[in-house]
Amino acid sequence: MNIIIVGCGKVGSALAAELNEEGNNITVVDVDADKLNDAAAKSDVMGVVGNGATHLTLQEAGISRAHLLIAVTGSDELNLLCCIIARKAGNCQTIARVRDPQYSRDAAYLKKELGLAMVINPEFAAAAEIARVLRFPSAMKIDTFAKGRVEMMKFRLPEGCPLAGCAVKDIAGRFGCDVLICTVERDDEAYIANGDLVFEERDVISLIATPKNANDFFRKIKYKMNSVKDVMIVGGGGISHYLCEILRRSGNGISVKVIEKNPKRCDELCEALEDVTIINGNASEKAVLLEEGLESTGGFVALTNLDEENIFLSLFAKRVSHAKVVTKINRIDFDEVIRPLDLDSIIYPKNITCETIVRYVRAMKNTIGSNVETLYNIVKGKIEAAEFHIKEGSPDIGIPLAQLQFNASVLIAAILRGKQVVIPRGYDTIQPDDSVVIVSNHLEMHDITDILK
């Protein structure tokens, strides 16, 4: 596919690299020539210097031949204008990143009236992910499939956990729970779980289940399950705004406190969020955090604009409290450095944006029998989980799973049929209109047939 990306910031450059690796022809547009040179040096992409909201620049970028334009500049208005001009100048699909809460409320209207394929809001998506892990503090990360009916939870086995020393194949008989273990991360290695794999303390495990079955499982392995009752948020940016709104709407009575050092931003938050406590203070000072009750808070979320500050604040919160700690990281290049720090949950807004757009691109390229509905990186660059919608004519329909010839390291994690969730066994079959969740280390899955030999 021919894809034009307008905006060569962190998201734009990450998108260019990932979509280029999947065999697409990428052209990146930005007013900053240095950023384009950096992107071209890292990936085999074309660069066009100019304003992506002008017809002339888009013509130079090849808008007449483009299948998709993605606008991810720092300006919502510019992104929308790029998409409007692209729709007029070429016959391509368009995706706009829109972050302002005022525009976000009109996302459905903008998508319909401007003919956009997608309006993506990484701040809102990040806030929704944070809200999920605050609901279930034991999880490091929670991804959802089938509009929330199935969840994939990532958690770390603590010392003394009943699962340590137990093999994957013994879980159903020993604990009587309908869950499926998908992956195990140990040291720097990541494995697709097979029946003979034996758990060890400190393993990071991903499992898939319905929310009810997951609750039953964690209760039986004596894992902390209660959602937090009060949350301290450091940083009053867009993610904080969305997170406060989500927590307020949840109906769980969660008390929320935001610490923000910019007085003007504090006034804006006070006006928008009447029942949230807004503190004007510098949270990088330990005394401020302790004075505001860090030692007794149930959840601590570091959402400043500086990764280093978020990491330091989170490590301090883990040392002085028993809070569920969530850390926002903007840089996606240093995951191997951050992972050993043993932070609770790490949120990468840029990754969320990339995964959403890559999922859409794969669905556009698909013409066989199924489309990618949902896509998550379970272990970045190593293991993916993808949800496919099965269409009539797909070659794997009606055949028991035990008889299908799968590629190595492929796991059928769940089958979603209407309102029924099936944790699959060898005798189960895939039917038309099912949604199927696949976990695999074969990256770049475009179609359900990619998992077959």
In the chain, what are the domain boundaries? 2-120, 140-220, 230-347, 361-451
Tokens of 419: 């309102």
Evaluate whether 353 touches 120 at the Cβ level (below 8 Å): yes
CB atoms within 10 A of CB 403: 10
Q: Which CATH class is domain 2-120?
A: alpha beta
Could you please report the per-residue DSSP string of 244-270?
HHHHHHT-S--EEEEEES-HHHHHHHH
Contact 303, 235 (CB under 8 A): yes
Cβ-based neighbour number of residue 333 at 10 Å? 8
CATH topology classification for 140-220: Alpha-Beta Plaits (3.30.70)
Contact criterion met (CB below 8 Å) for 271 and 301: no
- Look up the pTM and report it: 0.80
**Using an 8 Å Cβ cutoff, are 318 and 325 in contact?**
yes
301 touches 243 (CB < 8 A): yes
The burial of 453, by beta-carbon neighbours within 10 Å (0-12 exposed, 13-18 middle, 19 or more buried), is given as: exposed
Contact 204, 185 (CB under 8 A): yes
Residue type, 253: G
- Give the residue among 337, 266, 335, 256 at the shortest CA–CA distance from 298: 256
pLDDT values of the chain reduced to their tens digit, one per residue, 453 residues = 899 999 998 889 889 988 998 888 999 999 999 999 988 888 889 999 999 999 999 999 999 999 999 999 999 999 999 999 998 888 899 999 998 877 877 888 888 888 888 888 889 989 998 998 898 887 888 888 877 778 888 888 877 888 888 888 888 788 888 888 889 988 878 888 888 889 988 888 999 888 888 888 888 887 766 678 899 999 999 999 999 999 988 777 789 999 999 999 999 999 999 889 999 999 999 999 999 999 999 999 999 999 999 999 999 999 999 999 999 998 877 777 777 787 888 998 888 888 888 878 876 765 434 456 677 777 776 788 888 888 887 878 888 888 888 877 788 888 988 888 888 888 889 998 888 888 888 766 666 777 776
Under CATH, which number does the domain 230-347 receive?
A: 3.40.50.720
Residues 204, 156: contact at Cβ < 8 Å? Answer: yes
pLDDT at 369: 43
**pLDDT, position 258:** 96
- 141 forms beta bridges with 154
One-letter amino acid for residue 70 of the chain: I
- CA terminus-to-terminus distance, the chain: 25
Are the CB atoms for 390 and 431 separated by under 8 Å?
yes
Structure token pair of residue 300:
């601590």
Instruction: Select the CATH number that applies to the domain covering 361-451 from these four: 3.90.550.10, 3.30.70.1450, 3.20.20.450, 2.40.50.100.
Output: 3.30.70.1450
- Whole-angstrom distance, CA of residue 74 vs CA of residue 10: 10
Give the pairing type, strands 230-234 and 255-260: parallel
Q: Residue 308, class by beta-carbon neighbours within 10 Å (0-12 exposed, 13-18 middle, 19+ buried)?
A: exposed
Domains 2-120 and 230-347 share a fold: yes
β-strand pairing of 204-209 with 2-6: unpaired
**Phi, psi of 349, rounded to the nearest 5 degrees:** -55, -35
